[in-house]
Structure 1
Amino acid sequence: MTNTTNKRVGKKMIGVVLSLSVAFAGSMLLTPKTTHAATDAQVASKIIAKGKQYMGTPYRFGAKAGITSAFDCSSFVQYIYKKYGVNLPRGSKDQAKRGVKVLKKNLKKGDLIFSDTNRDGKINHVSIYIGNGKVLQTYRVGIGVTISNFKGSIWDRTFVTARDVI
């Protein structure tokens, strides 16, 4: 009888220990939103700083992915974000399908802004929101990678969507 009682107590103890282990392990997977947000903000700052290193780099439509001697808007975004572990497709239209939709009024640093600058119903431009109503982008021969005002600009007037991809 004591042997049977000992076995039952042992099984209950194992059950309690396993339950606590599962609960503890599960709580380790949950990270507070503030920690995640701080990490996102840090990554966004690094992406923006990296992008600024290419200020003045020439614009070339259809620039090859991965090169830094010239960019078009989407190759620039793809290259910079990839440096920080965010893999994006090559074209702006496909990039606009990634991440989480962001309302224009809720833009934060590091969000991607997608526009239809030739007003044909198709996304054809992407820029990086850097805060204070400004974007980091490349868009025309003779200008290259630059910082531009967003509010009231062609990119604002032809805004289609914004995405948080970080």
Structure 2
Amino acid sequence: MSMTLRFPKWGVTVLSILALFTTLIFGPTSNASASINYGEEVSEVAKRYVGAPYKWGGTTPKGFDASGFTHYVYKTAATKMTLPRTSASQYKMGKVVKQNELKQGDLVFYATGQKTKVSFVGIYNGNGTFTGATSKGVKVVKMSDKYWKERYVGAKRVIK
């Protein structure tokens, strides 16, 4: 002799709704949130302009000089930061960063001219490279290349 329970169709529906309601109220919650890494984002924006031409005094993708490039990238990236216009002025802002503590988005400075201490700036990408508007256009450059290694002045972190 077997025993079966019979529920009306509406009873099954009510129990299903109660089970769903209980799960939603007492079940696990997620506090997922996304946060942007501004340094990574700045570095990625900078790489988009690889191949853009060099132009003395240039501040747009039609032609950049070194500080015009960093000025443009920081302004158009998610940081929306306005950097000073010259590399020497950019070198005066931010927090000093040791070369072995560089993070993506940090500014790296070089003395490429004869008259001034700081005359070039690029955006650090990680892995010992930076993106900058060189005399041959915007390029990704290895900091360990002899030319750049000999002219390195320092780095600054302007992203808080």
Q: TM-score normalised to the size of structure 1? A: 0.69
Shift of 1:52: 1.3
Residue of structure 1 equivalent to 2:5: none
Name which one, 1 or 2, has greater alpha-carbon Rg: 2
Amino acid at match of 1:74: S
Cα distance in 1 between the residues matched to 2:105 and 2:126: 8
Shift of 1:153: 3.4
Q: 1:153 aligns with which of 124, 146, 149?
A: 146
Judged with a 3 Å threshold, the aligned counterparts in structure 2 of structure 1 residues 119 and 155 are, in CA distance, closer, same or farther, namely farther
Q: Say if 2:131 is the partner of 1:139.
A: no
Distance in structure 2 (CA, Å) of the matches to 1:59 and 1:121 = 20
Amino acid at match of 2:138: V
Equivalent of 1:116 in 111, 123, 126: 111
State how far apart, in whole Å, the 2-side matches of 1:121 and 1:55 are. 26
- Compute the TM-score of the two structures, normalised by the length of structure 2: 0.71
- Segments of 5+ residues of structure 1 without an aligned counterpart are 1-37
Q: Secondary structure at the match of 2:64?
A: coil
Residue aligning to 2:7 = none
Of 121-130 and 153-162, more deviation after overlay is shown by 153-162
- Normalized per residue, the structure richer in helix is 1
2: CA distance between counterparts of 1:53 and 1:109? 15
| Residue identity in the other structure for 1:125 | F
Aligned-residue identity in percent: 34
Tell me the residue number matched to 1:106: 101
Aligned-partner Cα distance in 1 for 2:114–2:153: 10
Partners of 2:140 and 2:70 in 1: CA distance: 14
How many residue pairs get matched?
A: 123
The alignment yields a C-alpha RMSD, in angstroms, of 1.6
